[in-house]
Structure formats: C-alpha cells, structure tokens
Amino acid sequence: MHGIEPYWRWRELYTAEADQFSPFFEREYSEFEFTHAIYDHVIHPQWDFFGSPTLFIKLLFVDYEEGVAIIEMIGEWNDAINNDIMFLKRDIMDVLIGNGVCRFIIIGENVLNFHGDSEDYYEEWYNDIIDEGGWIAFINFQDHVIEEMMRENIHFYMHTNEDLQQLAWRKFTPDKLLILVEDKLLRALN
C-alpha cells in the first residue's frame, strides 16, 4: 500500500497545505518517512490523517467560488468501530461546508471495505448541503463497497451509478470532472 500515492497532477492548481481554509493548512509532508499505516501496511506519506486509524484522505482540489471539493480516499471505511464518518463530517466536511462547499466528489477506488453503523452523520451531511443545491457523488468505489453502503442505506444521501463507478476521472481537469459528474447526475435523475 505504500506505493499508492494520492493523485498529484492537480497540485499546480491546488494544495490543501497552502489553502488557509483547508483543515490541512500548513501541514508538512515527507516524501521519505512513512509515519502512517493501515493495520500493518504503511501508506504513502502524502495521505492525510483525519482521526481514523484505517481511513485516510487527500483533498485533491477545492474551489470555494464553485463550491466543489474533490477528495480521494484510501483504506477501510469503518463506522462501526472507528466512527469514521463522525471524524470525516466534523473535522473535514463541516470545515469545507462552512467555507461554501456544497458539492463533493468522493473518489473511493482505494477504499477496501465499508462497515456501517448509523446513517445519522450521512443524513446531516446531506441536509447541510441540499438547500444550497449541493450533492455528494461517490465515484470509482469497488462494487462490494457500494453494496455494503447500500445495505446500510447510505445510498439515500449520496449519488452513485454505473457511469460514476467506471469514470476515468484522471483524464480530466477538476473543472471538466465537475461538469462530467453533474451531467451524469442529471442524466440519472431523468
């Protein structure tokens, strides 16, 4: 897992450590010292710890004027034991929402498992953004992870479909990805 680096090609457009509104403002990273692990597997030092011992994230891009955040994840999403959604909602999403973000693209191709507990924080997250025309799109999650989320009724608060799960998102700039995701969401609603 140490070789799985967060997507880096948008770094000339945005870095969370340089964003004064980011929860990771002024964070310093090492390219060589591996300080975080998921269970007994070290992970690349560019991933951000936000309170969960098994799930790490990277704010790949945030545009406050457009109200969009693109977030990549790695690890095991475990609400049952670690209450990952509480940390994610309180320490990351609330900060972004407080600064005008209401559209979230969550990239989960490196999320290995999901263990649900309660849908309360998901419902709160959804309710915090819906009046602003916001949404949460989960893209490129593994099929079994989406199935686990559906069993826990998380799908009521986020959008996903086959098109979003097979999206070659790395080919696009953040603004083009936003347009593409919104188009796929609108097509799914129609």
* 181 located within any domain: yes
Angle, vertex CA 89, rays to CA 85 and CA 93, nearest 5: 135
Q: Write down the pTM of the prediction.
A: 0.94
* 6 located within any domain: no
Q: How confident is the model at residue 1 (pLDDT cuts 50, 70, 90)?
A: low
**In CATH, what number is assigned to the domain containing residue 96?**
3.30.750.24
Q: How far is CA 6 from the centre of its chain?
A: 12
Total domains, the chain: 1
The residues, ordered by sequence, that sit 6+ positions from 92 with a Cβ below 8 Å of its Cβ are: 23, 50, 57, 59, 71
Q: What is the pLDDT of residues 143-158, one digit of tens each?
A: 999 999 999 999 899 9
- 177-183 mean pLDDT: 95
For residue 78, the enclosing domain spans: 16-189
Question: What is each CA distance from 83 to 7, 27, 187, in whole angstroms?
Answer: 26, 24, 33
